[in-house]
Structure 1
Amino acid sequence: MDFVLVDKPKPNVAVVTLNRPERMNAMAFDVMVPLKETIEQISHDNEVRAVVLTGAGKGFCSGADQVAAGRVPYTEGLTRPTIALRSMELLDDVVNAFRKMHQPVISAINGPAIGGGLCLSLATDIRIASTTAYFRAAGINNGLTASELGLSYLLPRAIGSSRAFEIMLTGRDVHAEEAERIGLVSRVVEPSALLDEAIALADRITAFSRPGIELTKRTLWSGLDAASLSQHMNQEGLGQLLVRLMTDNFEEATRARKEKRQAVFRDKL
Structure 2
Amino acid sequence: MGDILRDTPVEGVCRLTLNRPDALNSLTFAMYAELVDHLEAIRYDHDVRTVILTGAGRAFCAGHDIRGAGKPDWVAEGLGKAQFQQRVMAKLGQIPVLMHALPQPVICAVNGVTAGAGYPIALAADMTIAARSAKFVNAFHNAGTGHEMGFSYMLPRLVGMQRAAELMLTSRAVMAEEAAQIGMILRCVDEEALMDEALKLAEAVMVNSPIGLAVTKGSMWLNVDAPSLEAAIEMENRAIFMSQSTADSAEKRKAFIEKRRPDFTGQ
TM-score normalised according to structure 1 size: 0.92
Unaligned runs of 5+ in 1: none
Report how far residue 143 of structure 1 moved: 6.2
Q: Which residue of 2 aligns with 1:91?
A: 92
80-89 vs 150-159, which deviates more? 80-89
Give CA deviations for 1:46-81 in whole Å, capped at 9, x if unaligned. 111000000111111111211112211132333232
Report how far residue 111 of structure 1 moved: 1.2
Give CA deviations for 1:63-120 in whole Å, capped at 9, x if unaligned. 1211112211132333232221111111001221111112111000001111211100
Q: Which residue of 2 aligns with 1:186?
A: 186
CA RMSD of aligned residues (A): 1.8
Q: Does 1:232 align with 2:245?
A: no
Q: Give the conservation status (yes or no) of the 8 Å contact 1:10–1:203.
A: no
Q: Secondary structure at the match of 1:188?
A: strand
Q: Which residue of 1 aligns with 2:22?
A: 22
List structure 1 segments (4+ residues) > 3 angstroms apart after TM superposition. 245-248, 255-268
The count of residues paired between Structure 1 and Structure 2 equals 266
Amino acid at match of 1:71: K
Q: Give the conservation status (yes or no) of the 8 Å contact 1:6–1:16.
A: yes
Amino acid at match of 2:134: A
Q: 2:123 & 2:252 partners in 1: Cα distance?
A: 35
Amino acid at match of 2:127: I
Q: 1:67 & 1:257 partners in 2: Cα distance?
A: 54
Q: Secondary structure at the match of 2:9?
A: strand
Amino acid at match of 1:135: F
Report how far residue 267 of structure 1 moved: 5.9
Q: Secondary structure at the match of 1:102?
A: coil
Distance 1:115 1:156, change over 3 A: same
Q: Which residue of 1 aligns with 2:201?
A: 201
Q: Does 1:60 align with 2:64?
A: no
Distance 1:35 1:265, change over 3 A: closer
Q: Give the conservation status (yes or no) of the 8 Å contact 1:158–1:184.
A: yes
- Alignment identity in percent? 38
Distance 1:111 1:203, change over 3 A: same
Q: 1:124 & 1:26 partners in 2: Cα distance?
A: 18
Distance 1:249 1:136, change over 3 A: same
Q: Give the conservation status (yes or no) of the 8 Å contact 1:209–1:266.
A: no
Amino acid at match of 1:104: P
Q: Which residue of 1 aligns with 2:162?
A: 162
Q: 2:15 & 2:49 partners in 1: Cα distance?
A: 11
Unaligned runs of 5+ in 2: none
Report how far residue 227 of structure 1 moved: 1.7
